[in-house]
Structure 1
């Protein structure tokens, strides 16, 4: 875990994203896919677009993971809903209308964003650097609640390995500030270091199948230039279209202002020059349900080969995105597909293989609860699914493990007579 950066002057800026991003935002797979992995309290929810989606039906149908009640509870608890029409963004609404006119069912996307929380709502592409106006929910709020309830938070602590004794977890070991060894003993451990961090800890602890295979919801942004104002000043991903038959999701988005030309270098030398049209550029994000392939090594090397099926889905989605952008008023000659990137590392410690339905490993009282548990790529925003899994796990622990521990602590009634 990194630091809590929320009160730093650079939180929510390009400088901040470089400071709290793994490898300063330059983390790449062996194949060249960029993965943004913030190392900080609250994790990736600091930089996500605040988007929410219910888990796919196959999670319950194929893997018997029923979290529907927890999903609805979270939606009500955090007031997750689409933004009001006036905040969807004009360019985003043009994309939605163009898509609908072509026969694609676009609709507003649920958001972890409540404009009323902000003194001055100020959302745009910069949302992906960290929310400075305060409208976006992040997992830091759960951290704050836990600390207020009496939990101890140790920041800048990196867990390296698990303590396992007689096939039962005994705690964790690691270093603080990369140099001070620490050990925390515990009868129950829940790993939640993410799709990359969790398998590394498990590999160091003797779980050789951890990190064998990886999905990342392979993503590409399709850009086009219009006569009108683009998507840069609008909240990202306010509207979306999901094609479960062909395995992808589309939504409206654009890279933050300074990130745009840097990312475009990966596409080719001439593409950073399209930055001059940034304010009139409209972006459509492609997020595909990619196949599990490659994996993560104990040295931290990440591999996610793009399979033939992945390429088919990307091309299908690119054709549809181009049609929609042109229909929305973009110059056909300006439309291009940006470089591939990995947005949601997952499926590295899978349910059904390394975990049971309660998210427990073969080691007693060792659980995992993050995107690494997904048995397949979601191809949709994962945060709501992860929260629901965490609620399910919490209920399981309270009803079983901690109930037994509480019963063991209750003193026996004194004998009469």
Structure 2
């Protein structure tokens, strides 16, 4: 079912019907590869403030990944005529959209076929996903347990000692380990930490909150073109724009959340142009439980949306859309993140206050990125791997025992 509409429902939390208390829709893939199994394949460099404000330099790791995975914009002839028209319309009002770097190599596919359905999962194999890293790890001798749910970290004498959870059918699972790295995502990792006694996890989160602005033109729309082939960032105003539309069968479901008359625009999907707005939102709200999440839109967030929506309307009109066809979708949460923040719950090495318990995913971000997150997460993972290999796993058993003994003497309350 991978790459189909049915698969998109089967592989996501609550069949893609996960909502915050405020009504933000969150699509949360629960499968190997995580969000990279259902993303748009877009890449952006780690933000400069990670280095300047938090002392975390990811430049070398990001460039290594770019070279390793051949991250680059698609060739001009594959970026899409309608998408290019949107970028040219933006340029006409002084906004220089750039070709978006992609985790996508058409040469890998015997039949490159990319469109809005890319978000359901890549069936033509042109798009990279983290499953490729998993395949390499298994080939190197790692054991992969699927359909497993980790519920808590085992903590003994102030040190991580493994994890507990369940396998399919509710079979108890316990894995012992001297080092634990959580990578369950912006929602999953804080829930595991909460269950492990680190109650402050999940207090505040970012979402890179997103809307689509749609308009209908006389030309063919962007639905059959690769998603997000062009992008634009306004760092001062706190938003990103790109070319994007919801997949054909999901379009009426998403637009119905705005009102019953909006799915009536579905027959015009083939002529619809879309501009995605992603704002760098403020950390707010809380993860109370697995399906109980609060993420309010703050005044600053709304002001950023208002500014970006006005710009997007101008672009779509310039691109040939009739002004009376333009509308904005409800806000959705696309990148649950900043729930186990560096500088608060984590040190520069991504370690919690529990020795040898690390976190490495979007939950570690100190604040919203407001841009594609995958390259930053990979870079953090490479940096953490280097730290573990150099400074942690190189310790002898005697050294580790001595450290654990000293930690165990400390008065710690969980």
TM-score by length of 2: 0.95
Tell me by how many angstroms 1:402 deviates. Answer: 1.1
Q: What are structure 2's unaligned runs of at least 5 residues?
A: 401-414
Structure-2 separation of matches of 1:44 and 1:405: 36
* Secondary structure of 2:258's aligned partner: coil
Pairing of 1:200-349 with structure 2 (within 5 A) = 200-298=191-289, 300-349=291-340
Q: 1:292 to 1:408 in 2, by over 3 A?
A: closer
Structure-2 separation of matches of 1:407 and 1:147: 29
Given that 2:18 and 2:291 are in contact with CA atoms closer than 8 Å, whether structure 1 keeps it comes out as no
Tell me by how many angstroms 1:330 deviates. Answer: 0.6
Render the CA deviation track for 1:10-60: whole Å, top value 9, x for unaligned.
110000000001001111111111110111000100110000000111111
Given that 2:160 and 2:177 are in contact with CA atoms closer than 8 Å, whether structure 1 keeps it comes out as yes
Render the CA deviation track for 1:298-339: whole Å, top value 9, x for unaligned.
354111000000000001000000000000111111011111
Given that 2:208 and 2:281 are in contact with CA atoms closer than 8 Å, whether structure 1 keeps it comes out as yes
Given that 2:345 and 2:353 are in contact with CA atoms closer than 8 Å, whether structure 1 keeps it comes out as yes
Structure-1 separation of matches of 2:397 and 2:311: 57
Match of 1:189 among 175, 180, 184: 180
TM-score by length of 1: 0.95
Match of 1:85 among 76, 84, 94: 76
Provide runs of 4+ in structure 1 moved above 4 Å: 406-409
Structure-2 separation of matches of 1:355 and 1:48: 27
| Aligned residue number for residue 170 of structure 1 | 161
* Secondary structure of 1:297's aligned partner: strand
Q: What are structure 1's unaligned runs of at least 5 residues?
A: 1-9, 410-417
Render the CA deviation track for 1:344-394: whole Å, top value 9, x for unaligned.
000000000000000000000000000000000000000000000000000
| Aligned residue number for residue 151 of structure 2 | 160
1:63 aligns with 2:54: yes
* Secondary structure of 2:395's aligned partner: helix
Render the CA deviation track for 1:255-293: whole Å, top value 9, x for unaligned.
000000001111111000010100000000000000000
Given that 1:203 and 1:298 are in contact with CA atoms closer than 8 Å, whether structure 2 keeps it comes out as no
RMSD: 1.1
Structure-1 separation of matches of 2:185 and 2:162: 18
| Aligned residue number for residue 406 of structure 2 | none
Given that 2:166 and 2:173 are in contact with CA atoms closer than 8 Å, whether structure 1 keeps it comes out as yes
| Aligned residue number for residue 409 of structure 2 | none
Structure-1 separation of matches of 2:229 and 2:10: 28
